[in-house]
Amino acid sequence: MYLFTLLGNLLIMGTIWREHSLHTPMYLFLCVLSISEILFTVAVTPQMLVDMLSTHRSITFVACASQMFFSFTFGYTHSFLLMIMGYDRYVAICHPLRYNVLMSTRDCARLVSWCWAGGSVVGLMVTLIVFHLTFCGSKEIHHFVCHVLSLLKLACGKETASVTIVVILVCVTALMGCLFLIFLSYVFIVAAILRIPSTEGRHKTFSTCVSHLTIVVVHYGFASIIYLKLKGPHSMDNNTLMTTIYTVFTPFLSPIIFSLRNKELKNGIKRNLHRTFCPLSF
């Protein structure tokens, strides 16, 4: 599954790079999204695989802090990119005549840069806040990665409760802010689609949003369960399970969803593979 995640996202990146018909803002954002998913997977999954195969499961303080920083950076960059992709669909459907002006190469590069900057700021902020705390007692993390909620349970001191609230507020605010803007984009998109007179036109227009919507539901569904679910007697085990599913399956499902639900990308992948393995037919 780890190899499929890497190969699937690399295949999408390679296809977009080689197919000139896919050199549009939407596929540029998809290419950057694949990069963020590869980096997120590389930051978390190898350590998990090592721990699964090893009897001595340990991680250094620096490695733990680095893992938390990179997982938050790439995870929230992913969220910001999904928000930008929603904005791209909004401009394409609601303002088609101004699309080339509003989504120029320069503007797209600026939006992508802001996504990476935003993810880095969230990652750095959360990591500095958490590792500023004092950890005492048990040093055993009840998780397969250096997950923020598991680390906060090991911290001691008067400020632990307030820091926990701050971290949760930062994480939830960033996630829900992106989700709200995506929802707002689709409110205008749906309104624009309903004004299209033909059923075929409405279906064709909405089909350009299906893969993005599916990824949004998967990404925010798991993220919301992890950060917003109510605590219970088995909350630690449930949280570990949901985080594992989110970490492993979300990057795994993304290339499948985009390649199956996007006709242009699917045809591009077929041409790319055919060109690679059957070059004499071209």
AA letter at 32:
V
Binned at pLDDT 50, 70 and 90, residue 254 comes out as confident
pTM of the full structure: 0.84
pLDDT score recorded for residue 112: 95
Between 2-16, 108-122, 143-157, 159-173, the lowest mean confidence (pLDDT) is in 143-157
Strand partners, 134: 156
pLDDT at residue 210, rounded to an integer:
86
pLDDT band at 204 (very low <50, low <70, confident <90, very high): confident
Burial of 69 (0-12, 13-18, 19+ CB in 10 A): buried
Residue 108 half-sphere exposure toward CB, CA atoms < 13 A:
19
Q: What is the full DSSP assignment across the chain?
A: -HHHHHHHHHHHHHHHHH-GGG-SHHHHHHHHHHHHHHHHHHHHHHHHHHHHH-SS----HHHHHHHHHHHHHHHHHHHHHHHHHHHHHHHHHH-GGGHHHHT-HHHHHHHHHHHHHHHHHHHHHHHHHHHTSEE-S----SSSS--HHHHHTTEESTTHHHHHHHHHHHHHHHHHHHHHHHHHHHHHHHHHHHT-SSHHHHHHHHHTTHHHHHHHHHHHHHHHHHHHSPP-TTHHHHHHHHHHHHHHHHHHHHHHHHHHH-HHHHHHHHHHHHHHH-GGG-
Q: Is the pLDDT of residue 243 over 70?
A: no
pLDDT class of 233 with cuts at 50, 70, 90: very low
Question: Where does residue 208 fall: left (phi above 0), alpha (psi -120 to 50 degrees), or beta otherwise?
Answer: alpha
Q: Give percent above pLDDT 70 in the chain.
A: 80
Surface-to-core class of residue 212, CB atoms within 10 Å of its CB (0-12 exposed, 13-18 middle, 19+ buried): buried
If you average pLDDT over every residue of the chain, what do you get? Answer: 80
Could you tell me the two tokens for 222? 């798991």
Kindly tell me the burial class for residue 188, based on how many C-beta atoms sit within 10 Å of its own C-beta (0-12, 13-18, 19 or more): middle
How many other C-beta atoms lie within 10 A of the C-beta of residue 274? Answer: 12
Q: Tell me how far apart the alpha carbons of residues 264 and 267 are, in angstroms, rounded to a whole number.
A: 5
Give the angle subtended at the CA of 174 by the CAs of 64 and 231, to the nearest 5°: 70
Q: Rg of the Cα trace of the chain?
A: 21
166 versus 61: the higher-pLDDT residue is 166
**What's the pLDDT score for residue 117?**
95
- Please check the confidence at residue 231 and state whether its pLDDT lies above 50: no
What is the token pair recorded at 89? 């669909």
Question: CA 145, CA 242: separation in Å to the nearest integer?
Answer: 13
Is 143's pLDDT higher than 70? no
